[in-house]
Amino acid sequence: MSITLYSAWRATAPYRVRIGLRLKGVDYDYHAIDLVAGDQHKAEYRQVNPQRLTPALDLGDGSDILTQSLAILEWLDETHPEPALLPKDPMARARVRIMANVIACDIHPLNNTRVIRALTAMQVEQAEQAQWMARWMTDGFNTLEPMIARYGKGFCFGDSPTIADCCLVPQVYSARRFKVDIEPYPAIRAVADACAALPAFIAAHPDNQPDAVKA
Ligand SMILES: N[C@@H](CCC(=O)N[C@@H](CS)C(=O)NCC(=O)O)C(=O)O
């Protein structure tokens, strides 16, 4: 019985789940979905995730297929408790979820592939698209920076990775990819650098995925 992750190498939502799986030491098979080619719209993938988005996690035991990266991360934490991706204290858990939601609810949905494709279809110029991306990422990073400076001790919250770090690292990767200036965010950069040195984050990095397109 093996778990299969439906993933796309550069997409940030499946990247979050790859980090979680690696932190937990859970083995999985990798099923690449080419978002540029439109694999997410094919009938075969609609059976997996009717929402036509990545990630999806097939538990492989016929029981179910999970979607939505934060739901998957929380499921993972509940079924594989060590190392914990959420603190035990309710207030601390809420703080971690707040940080994760700033990214997953308030940055990412404004920037993902289908939004950019819609802007292109509406004939929005590349330069304006870049401004659009930067605007929402900057807004989110402005919110996160003081939270991480206050609650982080090496990671977003405390001294070990949580679901907030699973969300932050892909978002910083996306900012760098789209040339959004992250110099004004030393706390965010410090967390991203700390995570970048850890084996789980290295294994989950887009460049290390089977479907990575080498430059
Ligand atoms: N809220 C969802 C977002 C999923 C999502 O937007 N996935 C993107 C990649 S990051 C995707 O598959 N996009 C396909 C498309 O835009 O056509 C989650 O957290 O899993």
Q: Give pLDDT tens digits for 77-109.
A: 999 999 999 999 999 999 999 999 999 999 999
Pocket test for ligand 1, best of 6, 113, 120, 177 (most atoms within 8 A of CB): 113
Name the packing angle between helices 69-79 and 163-177 (round to 10°): 150
**143: pLDDT confidence band, cut at 50, 70 and 90?**
very high
Return the percentage of the chain with pLDDT > 90, whole number.
Answer: 95
Helix and strand totals (H; E) in the chain: 10, 4
Centroid of ligand 1 to alpha carbon of 101 (angstroms):
15
Report residues whose beta carbon is within 6 angstroms of any ligand 1 atom: 11-13, 35, 40, 53-55, 68-70, 104, 112-114
Name the average pLDDT for the chain.
96
**Confidence class of residue 16 from pLDDT cuts 50, 70 and 90?**
very high
Q: What share of the chain is helix, strand, coil (3-state, %, to 5)?
A: 60, 5, 35
Distance between Cα 13 and ligand 1 center (Å) = 6
Domain ranges in the chain? 4-83, 90-200
For 43, list phi and psi in degrees, rounded to 5.
Answer: -55, -40
Predicted confidence at residue 1, as pLDDT, reads 65
Overall average pLDDT of the 156-174 stretch: 98
* Confidence category of residue 63, pLDDT binned at 50, 70, 90: confident
pLDDT at 210: 97
- Reply yes or no on domain 4-83 having CATH 3.40.30.10: yes
Distance, in Å, from the CA atom of 11 to the CA atom of 36, rounded to the nearest integer, reads: 11
CA 202 to CA 200: how far, in whole Å?
5
Q: Using most ligand atoms within 8 A of CB, pick from 41, 51, 54 the residue to mutate for ligand 1.
A: 54
pLDDT at 30 over 90: yes
Instruction: Quote the ligand 1 centre to 135 CA distance (angstroms).
Output: 19
| Cα 209 to ligand 1 centre (Å) | 17
Which of the listed residues 31, 33, 53, 166 should we mutate to test ligand 1's pocket, taking the one with most ligand atoms within 8 A of CB? Answer: 53
User: E strand or H helix at 187, and its extent?
Assistant: helix 186-196
CA-closest candidate to residue 48, choices 59, 38, 36, 58 = 58
- 90-200 CATH fold: Glutathione S-transferase Yfyf (Class Pi); Chain A, domain 2 (1.20.1050)
Task: Please report the atom of ligand 1 found closest to the CA of residue 53.
Answer: 12
Question: In this structure, which residue's CA is closest to atom 20 in ligand 1?
Answer: 68
